[in-house]
C-alpha cells in the first residue's frame, strides 16, 4: 500500500523541479498547479505568473511570435517596475498527447532543461542571459512548461549584425570576440547542437560590444571539454554560413578560436572545409527526400486548378494569385514583386520542358541546400486540362537588383565581375561541375554597393558529383572561359568571321 501511495504521489505531485536551493538566488513558489522557480530580484513578476493558468496566446503574449513548432508558443510582454518598463520573453511548451505526457514522467521538461543548461553555462563563465523564472504545470501528468527570460533591448543576432553596414574595425573586433567565445564554450563542455549565427546575440554594454549565447533548447553540458573532433564538427557547421563572411573574416575567426596558432591554422582550416562539404552533402541528400513531402519546411499544393510542391514560408494564397496572374497575361515569364513565375516549355531557360516537375523541384532544393547562390525555389506547379494537356510552372524568389550576365555591357572589362564569376566556379566545385552548355542567360549578376555577386539562374546548369573539389575546379574554370569566348565571338563580328 505504501508503494502505491508513493507512485500516486509521484504522478499527482504539482511539480518535478528540483529543490531551489540548487540554484543560487532563486525562490520556489506554487501557484495553482504550477510550480515556479523565480529569481529573487524579479519577484515582482509574481502577479503576472498568477495569470498563466488562464492565459492564452492572445492574453498572455502581448507580442506573439510565430514559431514553426506546433507545441511551442513564444512571445513578449512588458512589466512596469519602479517607473521603468521591463521587457521579457516567454516560452510555453505544450504536451497535448498521452505519449508526450508519459515521457515527462521520466525526464525534465524542455522548459526546465533550457533553464538548467543556461544556469550551468553561467556557472562555468559563459556569458548568457539566465532565465528569471521557469515553471511546470501538472495535474496527473505534465501539461505545460514555461520559461521567462529578460529581453535585451537593442540587440541583434550575429547574422543580423554582419548583414548590416558595420565599420570594418568593429567587424574585426566582433570576429575576435566571437572566436574566443566559441573556444571558451567548447573548453567549458557546452555542446550546442544548433551552433549557428542565430544563437549568439550582440549588444552594447558600457560603450563596447558584448556577445552572449542564447537559445539553450538543444544544449547539453558535459563534465569536461568537448573532444577535438566534435569541436571541428561544430565549426564546420558554422562554416556553412559563408555568404555572411569573406574568406579573410573566416580566417580571422579561426585564428581567434585557435589563440593565433599560425603554425596549425592552415591544417585545421583544410580539415574543417572538408567536413563542411560532407555536412552540406548529407543535408542536401536529406532535403531531396523532404522537399516532396509534407513537413515543417515543405508542403504539397492542391487547389481546384493547380497542384504541386511548395516551400511553406510562402502562403498558398500568394502563390495561387501569382499563378492566376501568369495565366491571365498569357506570357511565358512574369515577375510579381520578388517572385518570378516561369511557364515551363521546350524553350524555357530552365531546360525542363521534357523533365519531371518533381525532379526539377528536387534539383532546385538540393542546390539551395548546398548554399550555392541560386534564386530561392518557391514551388513547382502543374495544371491539367480536360483534353489531357498539361502546363508546368516554376516560381522562384529572385535577389534584388539582378540582371542576366548577357546584359552586362562591361563583361570583359569589369574586374569585379570577372572575380565574382571565378568565385562562383570555386563555390560550386566541392559539389560538382557546371554544365558544358552554360550560357550567359543562365547566370544572374547582382550589384549591391561596391559588391558584385553571381547566381545560377538555371537549376539544371549544374551537375552534382562526389569527386573532390580539386578535380572539379579546373573543369568549372574552363567552362567559365568557354562562356567568355562564346559570348565574345557572338558579340564581335570580326572574331565571328575569323
Mean pLDDT check: name the lowest of 232-236, 269-273, 404-408, 428-432: 404-408
pLDDT of residue 101: 63
**pLDDT in the model for residue 498:** 34
Could you please state the CATH topology (level 3) that the domain comprising 402-497 is classified under.
Transferase(Phosphotransferase); domain 1 (1.10.510)
Question: In angstroms, rounded to a whole number, what is the distance separating the alpha carbons of residues 248 and 252?
Answer: 6
Is the CB of residue 189 less than 8 Å from the CB of residue 225? Answer: yes
The yes or no reply on domain 156-280 and CATH 3.50.50.60 is no
Q: Report residue 125 as a C-alpha cell.
A: 563563465
Lowest mean pLDDT among 13-27, 404-418, 448-462, 470-484: 13-27
Report, as an integer, the average pLDDT of 379-390.
Answer: 82
Per cent of the chain over pLDDT 70 is 83
Distance CA 230, CA 189 (A): 11
pLDDT more than 90, % of the chain:
43
254 contact partners, CB below 8 Å, separation of at least 6:
179, 235, 265, 268, 269, 272
Task: Tell me the Ramachandran region of residue 445: left when phi exceeds 0, alpha when psi lies from -120 to 50, beta otherwise.
Answer: beta
Span 180-219, pLDDT tens digits? 999 999 999 999 998 999 999 999 988 889 999 999 988 9
**Which of 18-22, 248-252, 449-453 is least confident?**
18-22
Question: Can you tell me the distance from the alpha carbon of 83 to that of 276, in angstroms, rounded to the nearest whole number?
Answer: 50
Whole-number average pLDDT of the chain: 83
Give one DSSP letter per residue of 423-462, joined into a string. Answer: HHHHHHTTTEEE-TT--GGGEEEEEETTEEEEEE--TTSE
With 80 as the cut, is the pLDDT of residue 411 above it? no
Residues 6 or more apart whose CB falls under 8 angstroms from that of 179 comprise 252, 253, 254, 255, 256, 257
What pLDDT score was predicted for residue 412?
61
pLDDT for residue 488: 67
CA–CA dist 325, 230 (Å, integer): 51
Domains of the chain, residue spans: 2-150, 156-280, 298-397, 402-497
What confidence score (pLDDT) does residue 158 get?
Answer: 92
Give the range among 60-74, 79-93, 164-178, 393-407 with minimum mean pLDDT: 60-74
Name the CA radius of gyration of the chain, rounded.
Answer: 27
Banded model confidence at residue 413, pLDDT cuts 50, 70, 90 = low
CA 357 to CA 375: how far, in whole Å?
17
Q: Which of 11-20, 104-113, 277-286 has the highest mean pLDDT?
A: 277-286
Q: Do domains 156-280 and 402-497 have the same CATH topology?
A: yes
What is the per-residue pLDDT for 425? 92
Q: Is the pLDDT of residue 58 over 90?
A: no
- Per-residue pLDDT tens for 124-158? 999 999 999 998 877 666 678 889 999 998 899 99
Amino acid at each position: 500500500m505504501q508503494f502505491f501511495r508513493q507512485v500516486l504521489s509521484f504522478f499527482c505531485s504539482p511539480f518535478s523541479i528540483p529543490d531551489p536551493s540548487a540554484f543560487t538566488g532563486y525562490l520556489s513558489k506554487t501557484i495553482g498547479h504550477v510550480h515556479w522557480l523565480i529569481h529573487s530580484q524579479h519577484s515582482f513578476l509574481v502577479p503576472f505568473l498568477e495569470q498563466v493558468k488562464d492565459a492564452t496566446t492572445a492574453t498572455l503574449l502581448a507580442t506573439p511570435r510565430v514559431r514553426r513548432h506546433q507545441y511551442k508558443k513564444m512571445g513578449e510582454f512588458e512589466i512596469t517596475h519602479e517607473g521603468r518598463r521591463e521587457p521579457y520573453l516567454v516560452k510555453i511548451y505544450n504536451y497535448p498527447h498521452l505519449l508526450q505526457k508519459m515521457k515527462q514522467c521520466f525526464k525534465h521538461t524542455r522548459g526546465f532543461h533550457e533553464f538548467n543548461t543556461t544556469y550551468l553555462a553561467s556557472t562555468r563563465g559563459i556569458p548568457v542571459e539566465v532565465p528569471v523564472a521557469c515553471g511546470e504545470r501538472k495535474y496527473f501528468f505534465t501539461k505545460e512548461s514555461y520559461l521567462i527570460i529578460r529581453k535585451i533591448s537593442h540587440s541583434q543576432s550575429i547574422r543580423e549584425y554582419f548583414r548590416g553596414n558595420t565599420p570594418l574595425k568593429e567587424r574585426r573586433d566582433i570576429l575576435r570576440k566571437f572566436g574566443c567565445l566559441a573556444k571558451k564554450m567548447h573548453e567549458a563542455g557546452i555542446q550546442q547542437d544548433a551552433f549557428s549565427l542565430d544563437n549568439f546575440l550582440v549588444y552594447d554594454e558600457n560603450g563596447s560590444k558584448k556577445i552572449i549565447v542564447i537559445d539553450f533548447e538543444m544544449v547539453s553540458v558535459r563534465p569536461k571539454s568537448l573532444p577535438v573532433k566534435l569541436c571541428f564538427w561544430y565549426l564546420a557547421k558554422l562554416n556553412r554560413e559563408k555568404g555572411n563572411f569573406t574568406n579573410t573574416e573566416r580566417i580571422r575567426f579561426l585564428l581567434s578560436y585557435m589563440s593565433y596558432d599560425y603554425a596549425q591554422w592552415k591544417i585545421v582550416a583544410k580539415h574543417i572545409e572538408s567536413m563542411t562539404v560532407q555536412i552540406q552533402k548529407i543535408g542536401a541528400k536529406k532535403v531531396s527526400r523532404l522537399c516532396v513531402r509534407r513537413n515543417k519546411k515543405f508542403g504539397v499544393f492542391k487547389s481546384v486548378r493547380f497542384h504541386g510542391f511548395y516551400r511553406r514560408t510562402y502562403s498558398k494564397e500568394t502563390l495561387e494569385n501569382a499563378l492566376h496572374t501568369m495565366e491571365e497575361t498569357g506570357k511565358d515569364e512574369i515577375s510579381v514583386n520578388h517572385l518570378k513565375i516561369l511557364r515551363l516549355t521546350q524553350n524555357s531557360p530552365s531546360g525542363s520542358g521534357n523533365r519531371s516537375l518533381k525532379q526539377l523541384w528536387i534539383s532546385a532544393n538540393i542546390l539551395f541546400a548546398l548554399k550555392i547562390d541560386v534564386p530561392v525555389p518557391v514551388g513547382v506547379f502543374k495544371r491539367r486540362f480536360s483534353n489531357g494537356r498539361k502546363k508546368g510552372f516554376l516560381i522562384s524568389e529572385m535577389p534584388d537588383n539582378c540582371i542576366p550576365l548577357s546584359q552586362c555591357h562591361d563583361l570583359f572589362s569589369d574586374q569585379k565581375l570577372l572575380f565574382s564569376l571565378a568565385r562562383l566556379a570555386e563555390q560550386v566545385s566541392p559539389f560538382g561541375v557546371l554544365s558544358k552548355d552554360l550560357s550567359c542567360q543562365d547566370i544572374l549578376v547582382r550589384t549591391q554597393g561596391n559588391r558584385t555577386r553571381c547566381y545560377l539562374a538555371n537549376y539544371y546548369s549544374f551537375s552534382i558529383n562526389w569527386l573532390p573539389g580539386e578535380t572539379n575546379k579546373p573543369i568549372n574554370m574552363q567552362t567559365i572561359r568557354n562562356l567568355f569566348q562564346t559570348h565574345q565571338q557572338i558579340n564581335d563580328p570580326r572574331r565571328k568571321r575569323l
